[in-house]
């Protein structure tokens, strides 16, 4: 979504499970590397493709391996309780964020070659990858800024309270 085009309606925004904020690179070395790669491709696209072929094949193989492992990754009730507590503490609207965080953490576990979730993946910074991309569109407006998640609020500064689990 391009912020310059305006906001999406809430019922449409709710259909997106994951959201990421893309920003430009801020250090000279990285920016120069991007420019060099682009110019290298434009100068000789076949050589450029050949240069990156092996890395692309390795990445594709890792994706195939993770996809095969994904059905074996288990989410237990402790994982569910941890995520539910986190979402409650953050004031997330609805239940879609809970499900999205768990599925994202499950996918991340398969990518890492594991069969169970690692709680730090969705718990505290800096290991909050799965949480951050799943909840931004479901937080109350007070937790959002014009550019997305209010970074001044964090689980580290506002740790989840213990929630009683009832079954």
> Is 106 known to be catalytic?
no
Whole-angstrom Cα distance, residue 123 to residue 4?
32
The 10 Å Cβ neighbour count of residue 27 is: 8
Q: In the 3-class helix/strand/coil scheme, how is 48-77 assigned residue by residue?
A: HHHHHHHHHHHHHHHHHHHHHHHHHCECCH
Q: Rounded to an integer, what is the distance from CA 107 to the centroid of its chain?
A: 10
As beta bridge partners, residue 74 has 116
The one catalytic residue in 9, 74, 96, 131 is 96
Q: Cα–Cα distance between 63 and 77 in angstroms, integer?
A: 27
Active-site residue set: 96
């Amino acid at each position: 979504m391009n912020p310059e085009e305006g906001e999406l309606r809430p019922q449409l925004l709710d259909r997106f499970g994951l959201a990421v904020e893309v920003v430009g690179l801020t250090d000279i070395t990285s920016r120069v590397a991007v420019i060099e790669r682009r110019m290298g491709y434009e100068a000789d696209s076949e050589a450029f493709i050949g240069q990156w072929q092996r890395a692309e094949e390795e990445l594709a193989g890792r994706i195939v391996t993770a996809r095969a492992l994904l059905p074996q990754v288990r989410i237990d009730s402790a994982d569910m309780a941890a995520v539910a507590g986190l979402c409650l503490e953050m004031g997330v609207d609805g239940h879609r964020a809970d499900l999205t965080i768990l599925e994202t953490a499950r996918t991340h576990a398969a990518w890492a070659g594991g069969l169970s979730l690692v709680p730090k993946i969705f718990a505290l910074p800096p290991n909050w990858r799965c949480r951050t991309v799943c909840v931004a569109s479901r937080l109350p407006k007070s937790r959002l800024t014009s550019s997305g998640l209010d970074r001044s609020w964090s689980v580290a500064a506002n740790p989840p309270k213990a929630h009683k689990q009832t079954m």
